[in-house]
């Protein structure tokens, strides 16, 4: 049996890579398993996936503890810890633009293969530069290291419905992967610390378990109002929920007052903001996100703007430059009561 452990981060496609590798061997008439282990991890949190391959039916459904090979999808996860349990002849297949020799100190005596899967994925438009999807790219590299043919890679991708740039990325990685056995000796594994053995005279041994809930039955629950996802996602700290609720009541003046507490230019924001509040909106799970941008534009265009107030402080402040940052700084300083003078070398404001 061949067992493989895949280390990645949530959203990178580690479980899909496990299924792709399993598909490649399944199409060669092998018995396979592919599954991931994760629970409440958010996107970007470390996750693991596993693959098993055998000539006979696989009855072990536990996590892989002693892998034959290890694949690492994210460069930030490359450390000596990923080789825990790895068999001496196993390969470490790393997503890295560096050659295998770079990891001689971290993985002495190991067989290491590297490929710039991130660069290949970005060049082929898989994901974004900040969040590239490297699973199909790493399939090509893993296939080369594990002795599969290019046709096995193509068959696995076709079998699972991947086309176009995914195929191109896998082929490029198949050709670009570098493999080397590093000098040195494999470090001996550190045995786990022994657990505590209870004494026969321990008062807890053989006794009923201690009741730790105390006076819970006589206490009242405390209710906490948590931050809504839209508010949490807004980089300007806007009270998005309060704003939307005011719009829902058709109290547009109140909605404008709420948004002006933190955003001096709601009409501009409604036109240019990438709207992370909408990305975080939990309405997306039911139908679609609340269109906060359009609501901001409407309120900015139709609500009654408050009258300007006179300064209440004696200190005078000058703001140089009338770009968005300068305008915002001047606005919030004025709200605090400071007399502000805005200096701009151009004929119009706006930077």
Sequence spans of domains, the chain: 2-181, 227-307, 309-351
**Would you give the DSSP letter of residue 246?**
H
* Token reading at 313: 């402080």
User: Residue 200's pLDDT is what?
Assistant: 57
What are the backbone dihedrals phi and psi of residue 204, each rounded to the nearest 5 degrees, phi first? -85, -15
> What percent of the residues of the chain are helix, what percent strand, and what percent coil, each to the nearest 5?
35, 15, 50
222: three-class secondary structure by DSSP:
coil
Mean pLDDT for back-to-back runs of 10 residues, the chain (351 residues) = 94 92 97 85 81 96 94 93 93 96 95 96 86 93 96 95 95 97 84 59 58 64 87 93 96 96 91 92 90 95 91 94 90 94 90 72
Give the whole-angstrom CA distance, residue 31 versus residue 50: 14
Give the model's pLDDT for residue 199: 60
Spatial contact of 113 and 94, defined as CB atoms under 8 Å apart: yes
**209-224 burial code (b ≥16 CB/10 A, e <16):** eeeeeeeeeeeeeeee
**Paired strand residues for 31:** 54
- What is the per-residue pLDDT for 315? 95
Nearest by Cα to 65 from 80, 87, 90, 85:
85
CATH of 227-307, one of 3.30.460.10, 2.60.120.10, 1.10.1060.10, 1.10.10.350: 1.10.1060.10
- Residue 278 CA to residue 296 CA, distance in Å, equals 12
Residues 92 and 112: beta-carbon distance below 8 Å: yes
Please, are residues 14 and 6 in contact by the beta-carbon 8 Å criterion?
A: yes
Global pTM exceeds 0.75: no
Residue with tokens 């991708």: 157
Quote the DSSP letter at residue 286: T
Pairing of β 111-115 and β 178-181 = antiparallel
Rounded to 10 degrees, the C-alpha dihedral 83/84/86/88 comes to: 80
Question: Which H/E stretch holds residue 179?
Answer: strand 178-181
According to the model, what pLDDT value does residue 296 have? Answer: 95
Please enumerate in sequence order all residues whose Cβ is within 8 A of that of 137, keeping only pairs 6 or more positions apart, or say none.
115, 117, 120, 121, 124, 126, 169, 170, 172, 173
Residue range 2-181 in CATH 3.30.530.20:
no
Give the list of residues 6+ apart from residue 37 with CB closer than 8 angstroms, or none.
47, 48, 49, 50, 63
The confidence score (pLDDT) of residue 213 equals 62
Note whether 241 and 228 are within 8 A (CB). Answer: yes
pLDDT of residue 191: 62
């Amino acid at each position: 049996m061949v067992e493989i452990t895949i280390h990645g981060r949530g959203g990178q496609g580690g479980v899909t890579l496990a299924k792709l590798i399993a598909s490649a061997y399944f199409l060669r008439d092998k018995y396979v398993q592919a599954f991931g282990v994760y629970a409440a991890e958010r996107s970007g949190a470390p996750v693991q996936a596993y693959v098993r391959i055998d000539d006979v039916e696989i009855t072990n459904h536990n996590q892989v503890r002693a892998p034959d090979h290890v694949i690492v999808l994210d460069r930030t996860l490359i450390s000596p810890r990923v080789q825990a349990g790895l068999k001496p002849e196993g390969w470490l297949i790393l997503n890295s633009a560096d050659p295998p020799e770079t990891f001689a100190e971290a993985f002495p005596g190991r067989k290491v293969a590297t490929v710039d899967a991130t660069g290949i994925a970005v060049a082929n438009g898989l994901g974004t530069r900040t969040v590239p999807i490297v699973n199909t790219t790493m399939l090509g590299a893993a296939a080369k290291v594990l002795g599969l043919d290019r046709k096995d890679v193509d068959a696995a991708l076709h079998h699972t419905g991947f086309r176009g740039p995914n195929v191109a990325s896998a082929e490029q990685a198949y050709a670009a992967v570098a493999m080397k056995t590093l000098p040195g000796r494999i470090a001996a594994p550190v045995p786990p610390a022994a657990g505590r053995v209870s004494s026969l005279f321990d008062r807890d041994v053989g006794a009923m378990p201690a009741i730790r809930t105390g006076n819970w039955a006589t206490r009242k629950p405390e209710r906490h109002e948590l931050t809504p996802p839209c508010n949490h996602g807004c980089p300007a700290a806007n009270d998005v929920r309060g704003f939307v609720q005011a719009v829902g009541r058709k109290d547009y003046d109140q909605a404008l007052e709420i948004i002006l507490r933190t955003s001096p230019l709601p009409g501009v924001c409604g036109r240019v903001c990438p709207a992370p509040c909408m990305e975080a909106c939990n309405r997306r799970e039911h139908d679609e996100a609340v269109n906060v941008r359009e609501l901001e534009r409407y309120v900015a265009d139709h609500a009654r703007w408050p009258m300007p107030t006179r300064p209440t402080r004696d200190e005078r402040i000058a703001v140089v430059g009338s770009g968005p940052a300068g305008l915002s700084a001047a606005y919030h300083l004025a709200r605090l009561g400071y007399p502000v003078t805005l200096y701009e070398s151009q004929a119009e404001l706006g930077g």
